[in-house]
Amino acid sequence: MTQRNAHLWHASEDLVARYAAGVLPEPDAWSLEKHVEGCAGCASRVSAAVRGTAAGAVLAQVRAAVLESAPAPVARTAPAPVVAGAPEAAGAAGWPAPSRIARLLWAAGPAVRGAWLPAVLGVAVAALALAYGAGFPGARALLLAVAPVVPVAGVALSYGPHADPLYEVTAATPGGGLRLALTRTVAVLAVSLPLLTLTGLLLPASGAPAAAAWLLPGLALALASLALASFVGCRAAAGVTGGGWLCAVLAPAAVAPDGAATARLAEQLARCLDGAAAQGVWASAAVLSAALLTARRPAYDRPLRP
């Protein structure tokens, strides 16, 4: 539902009651949650209905425990979790409505806060330091070898029980699950793709592929990690996809004769990244991974493996 027509309807008593009871179908729950973001009247009614359920008391206890253990700045800005019977705009126990920026920061997760963003910046700075500080000729090749793994690591670190104190609650709600995982994946890609591509453009080519040649592989590996995570969990999936890529591109360089490792790495990257055929394979892999992820969507409606 768009913001323009959000106020053209109001939630009926039956709709509010079924939402509070957690029996409202998922599409209707999404529609109601979007509506109460801009309708204070319906938000107040939904909040009151939720507070009258057993879930309202439990959520109030969870919120109190989280705020008690969180630092003061986090406690002031943390939004209410998106859970069945606790819409963002109202909260389950009379919580203040979080700002749109606070909701965005919570949804984006560690992609825009915490240690992950400095880590990506560290990769970019290290590549530039190798090229212009240490005079290492293979800095771009090394960056292209590492860059596709960065989004995979970002996705693994931004979704799952290790990333969210309330992961088990949000994973089974309309605002969580695959919807939240994709939101955080987009945030990870939006940060890492332009930053690392720009860094690659600033590095000497030295026979390595183009600076943007890693974009499709990075996207394909991120989608493959999400699809595989539905079977084995986020961290194990990241280890398989990211580790597989690193082994494929670094193994030939590791066994190269002394002094030939950089050239061998550039050759291997050229095989994996250069040309329409290679990029077409990565595009096909991205499409297939997206199709598998779509088929595995129900797995995200319950907590994944750690």
pLDDT digits (tens, 9 = 90+) for 27-42: 788 788 878 877 888 8
Confidence bin at 166 (pLDDT 50/70/90) = low
Residues with Cβ < 8 Å from 268, sequence gap 6 or more?
Answer: 248, 249, 252, 253
Q: Are 289 and 224 in contact (CB under 8 A)?
A: yes
Q: What pTM, to 2 d.p., does this model score?
A: 0.69
Separation between Cα atoms, residue 290 and residue 296, nearest integer Å: 10
Q: What average pLDDT score do residues 142-169 get? A: 84
Separation between Cα atoms, residue 153 and residue 290, nearest integer Å: 18
Separation between Cα atoms, residue 85 and residue 17, nearest integer Å: 9
Confidence at residue 201, expressed as pLDDT on a 0 to 100 scale: 95
Lowest-confidence region among 99-103, 157-161, 271-275? 99-103
**Is the pLDDT score of 79 beyond 50?**
no
**Is the pLDDT score of 225 beyond 50?**
yes
Place of tokens 């290790």: 162
> Which of 134, 32, 152, 47 shows the shortest CA–CA distance to 94?
47
CA 23, 26, 31, 34 torsion-angle sign: positive
Q: What is the pLDDT of residues 9-63, one digit of tens each?
A: 788 898 888 888 888 887 788 788 878 877 888 888 888 888 888 777 777 777 7
Separation between Cα atoms, residue 151 and residue 223, nearest integer Å: 10
CA distances from 86 to 29, 73, 94 (A): 11, 23, 10
> Which of 135, 268, 174, 134 shows the shortest CA–CA distance to 213?
268
Confidence at residue 194, expressed as pLDDT on a 0 to 100 scale: 93
Separation between Cα atoms, residue 304 and residue 13, nearest integer Å: 34
